[in-house]
Amino acid sequence: MTEAYDAVDVIVTKRDGGALSDAQIDWVVDAYTRGAVADYQMASLAMAIVQRGMTMRETARWTRAMINTGERLDFSGLSRPTADKHSTGGVGDKITLPLAPLVASCGLAIPQLSGRGLGHTGGTLDKLESIPGWQADRTTAQMISQLEDVGAVICAAGSGLAPADKKLYALRDVTGTVESIPLIASSIMSKKIAEGTGVLVLDVKVGSGAFMKDLAGARDLARTMVALGSDAGVVTSALLTDMSTPLGRAVGNALEVAESVEVLAGGGPADVVELTLALAREMLDRAGLTGKDPAAALQDGTAMDAWRAMISAQGGDPGAPLPKARHSQDVTAPSDGVVSRMDALGVGVAAWRLGAGRARKEDEVQKGAGIYLHKQLGETVKAGEPIMTLYSDDEPRFARAHAALGEACGGAGAIAIDAEAPGRAIILDRVSSA
């Protein structure tokens, strides 16, 4: 087969600061997916994009080209409008678990295609797999049936959605080319647009435990993704939310499921409830469904009913005991005062080292491993009182977790006790095309 372009010419165009044409982008994404462009050539192009950037036109075309390498799901036959939420990832970010059944109980259909954790950020599928019997894999027919019957499905994305992204993401991960807003935005949005939902609400995390460390960068990413979604005909908006400190009190798979069930039962940590309701209201508003208050659905049991139905539909037992780690160890306060720092990255790395996360995609996670925060930012503590409890099946992991907590914040430590604590806002900003 004679190729329409030469990979070196495309690389040089971007290396020298030029804009790639629509035809060049269509060709290079397709050619890379089918193997006509080698990994080392795409790695070189990705590095040129990191260094030189992309215009909005280029980014939109790159996203469309990745979508066109695979299939698109179609939920237009459902009796309810569809909506989805995507988070850029954080520590203790279990929001998908209570959010999906909550908005389903208010009349939306939620086709939530989720992933597994890597590094210090947890994965929704890993969390749900701590429920005995629960299965992540669903066929398209099973998804449609469950969405019609239950209103929500959380499952693994099939290999047919934007296969170019799967291949390119793995390459970027090992070539130092992850940190590019055009490449990040197109990676996320190619899968979400191909998913076929009518409404998409993005939760863009900001802070030490997030990919985007500062508000300006997070806002740029949010604006890019909202523009890509809107350009593709998806009603898209974004909330920028704090991830400088962990979300909720539980960090780890089974621990986060238990906390999510607390929220669905009408309780749970205030920050988790606040963000869950904010995202639920955004999804319902963007879909034009404003008749039911999601806060009422948490209190009257309808959200919990939807949770049980969703878990049962995927083979899980919502009433079964969750796995527990074999060993635990407390971290106590060195003095009286107020928790003035609870660094999300330090806590996330510690939970990862305890076995709650994985270093490589093929690693197994410990379902009961993680951290429970007895004290959150701004809460008072007495000397010797537990601030957190560490959980792991392997006792030697505790030393490495303690080291992660001590190494955080440039060696100042993940935890600080002072006379007072800074205030915390969960919702930092909102970005919308309209």
Catalytic residues: 86, 165, 172, 187, 191
Q: Please tell me the distance from the alpha carbon of residue 396 to that of residue 401, in angstroms, as a whole number.
A: 9
- Counting beta carbons within 10 angstroms of the beta carbon of residue 137, is it exposed (0 to 12), middle (13 to 18) or buried (19 or more)? exposed
The residue whose two tokens read 């970005």 is 431
Q: Which of 338, 419, 324 is nearest to 366 (CA)?
A: 324
| Beta-sheet strands, E only, within 207-346 | 235-242, 250-251, 327-332, 337-342
| Residue burial 35-49, b: 16+ Cβ < 10 Å; e: rest | eebeeebbbbbbbbb
Q: In 3D, which of 314, 269, 247, 276 has the Cα closest to residue 106?
A: 276
Q: Is 146 helix (H, G, I), strand (E, B) or coil?
A: helix
- Please name the residue that has the structure tokens 């080292």: 353
Q: Are 190 and 165 in contact (CB under 8 A)?
A: yes
The DSSP line for 94-130 is -THHHHHHHHHHTT-BEEEEE---BTTB--HHHHHTT
Token pair belonging to 68: 């066109």
